[in-house]
């Protein structure tokens, strides 16, 4: 038994998968067969990707048919009816914040800023973002900020020293 919410998710996923598998099939079909190099057509590079694309297409179609049977296509109706609870909203915000701060560090800072500095900044920002309560004054929460700062500096230095000197990694 598939619930309505999951059926909606499955419906969207099946459409994405159908498009994805069709792209794989088309790309595999148009892939060079290397006949000029006298290569056996059965060993052409597009054979296996094409086959996998076909299997994925079949599975996506099963998912599509099943989600339609359970009413997953009623997207607009379903989303307007759904009332997200406060907890779900909070969870989504926490995930987005984690993702944002992680992406800024891993894609924005790394390789552009000194490794130790960027790591310390990331750890400090992460802790403050989740531990500081917005309603209260920062002065009253100075312990949290101070502890975050100490943890960020110590962890960053430790990771830098261990990876650079012990594991001989050329840090970014």
Partner 1 sequence: MIEGWNYFWQGLSDFITVRTIFDVIWSTQLGIIVGMLPGLTATMGVALMTTLTFHMSPENAILILICMYVGAIYGGSRSAILLNIPGTPANAATAMDGYPLAMRGEAGRAIGISTTGSFLGSIIGMIMLAFFTPLLGNFALNFQSFEFFWLAVFGIVISGNLTAPKDPVKGWISGFLGLFIALIGMEGIHGFVRFSFGNTNLSGGINLIPAMVGAFGFAEILSMMKYERANVINSKIERILPKVRDIFRYRKTIVRSGLIGTLIGAIPGVGEDIAAWVSYDFAKRGSKDSNEFGKGSVEGLMAAETGNNAAVAGAVIPVLSLGIPGSAPAAVLLAAMFIHGVRPGPLIMIESPDFVYKVVAMVFLATCAMFVLGLSMVKYVVKVLQVPRTKLMPIIFTLCVIGSYAIQSRIFDVRVMIFFGILGFVMQQMEYPVAPMILGLILGNMLDTNFRRALVIAEGEALPFISRPICLVLISFIVLTLVSKTRWFNICTTVIMTKMRSLISR
Q: Which residues bind partner 1 (CB under 8 A)?
A: 2, 6, 9-10, 13, 17, 24, 27, 31-32, 34, 37, 39-40, 42-49, 51-53, 55-56, 59-60, 62-63, 66, 90-91, 94-95, 97-99, 102-103, 105-107, 110-111, 119, 122-123, 126-127, 130-131, 151, 155-156, 159, 163, 167-172
To the nearest whole angstrom, how small is the minimum distance from the Cβ of residue 140 to partner 1? 18
Inter-residue contact 116 to 92 (CB < 8 Å): no
Return the number of the residue (19 or 169) whose C-beta is nearest partner 1.
169
- Closest approach, Cβ 82 to partner 1, in A, equals 15
Backbone angles phi, psi at 113, to 5 degrees: -115, 160
35: which 2 tokens?
Answer: 């006949």
Q: Pull the structure tokens for residue 142.
A: 């100075």
Q: Which of 13, 68 has the CB closer to partner 1?
A: 13
Per-residue burial over 25-40, b = 16 or more CB atoms within 10 Å of its CB, e = otherwise: beebeeeeeeeeeeee
**Closer residue to partner 1, CB minimum distance, 108 or 138:** 108
Residues facing 113 on adjacent strands: 110
Question: How far apart are CB 143 and partner 1 at their closest, in Å?
Answer: 13
Q: Show Cβ contacts of residue 44 under 8 Å, excluding neighbours closer than 6 positions.
A: 31, 32, 33, 34
By beta-carbon proximity to partner 1, the closer residue of 81 and 170 is 170
Q: Which is closer to partner 1, CB of 77 or CB of 147? A: 147
Give min distance, CB of 75 to partner 1, in A.
Answer: 15
| Euclidean distance between the first and the last CA atom of the chain, given in angstroms as a whole number | 49
The Cα–Cα gap between 157 and 172 comes to: 14
């Amino acid at each position: 038994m598939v619930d309505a919410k999951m059926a909606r998710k499955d419906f969207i996923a099946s459409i994405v998968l159908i498009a994805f598998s069709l792209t794989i099939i088309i790309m595999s079909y148009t892939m060079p067969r290397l006949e000029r190099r006298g290569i056996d057509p059965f060993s052409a590079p597009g054979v296996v990707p094409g086959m996998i694309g076909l299997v994925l297409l079949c599975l996506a179609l099963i998912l599509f048919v099943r989600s339609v049977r359970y009413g997953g296509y009623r997207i607009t109706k379903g989303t307007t009816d759904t009332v997200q609870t406060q907890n779900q909203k909070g969870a989504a915000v926490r995930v987005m914040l984690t993702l944002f701060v992680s992406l800024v560090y891993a894609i924005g800072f790394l390789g552009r800023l000194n490794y130790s500095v960027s790591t310390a900044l990331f750890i400090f920002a992460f802790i403050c973002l989740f531990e500081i309560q917005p309603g209260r004054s920062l002065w009253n929460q100075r312990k949290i900020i101070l502890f975050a700062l100490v943890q960020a500096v110590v962890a960053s230095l430790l990771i830098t020293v261990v990876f650079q000197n012990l594991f001989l990694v050329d840090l970014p």
